[in-house]
Amino acid sequence: MVFTKRNYLLLVLGLVMIVAGYVIMRMENEVDGFISLYVAPLLLLAGYLEIIYAILWRPSKEVAEETAA
């Protein structure tokens, strides 16, 4: 398999961060609010970066050889 358990956990974490970012942005419901302007976009950015990291992450060869043996 291409993905390991860690990849799937990182993907789920990224999805949770993205959903939380959109929920937080909607909860405040103000255009000029601090949370909707600063906190929610940073949480969304972190979530998307986490998903990219989860897709690109691979275990090192030493760890992969130890688990295969």
pTM above 0.85, yes or no: no
Count up the domains in the chain and report the number.
1
- Write down the pLDDT at residue 29: 80
- Write down the pLDDT at residue 59: 82
- Write down the pLDDT at residue 66: 63
> Does residue 66 lie in a domain region?
no
CA distance 65 to 51: 25
CA distance 41 to 18: 9
Domain containing residue 40:
5-59
> Does residue 67 lie in a domain region?
no
- Write down the pLDDT at residue 2: 83
> Does residue 12 lie in a domain region?
yes
Low-confidence ranges of the chain (pLDDT < 50): none
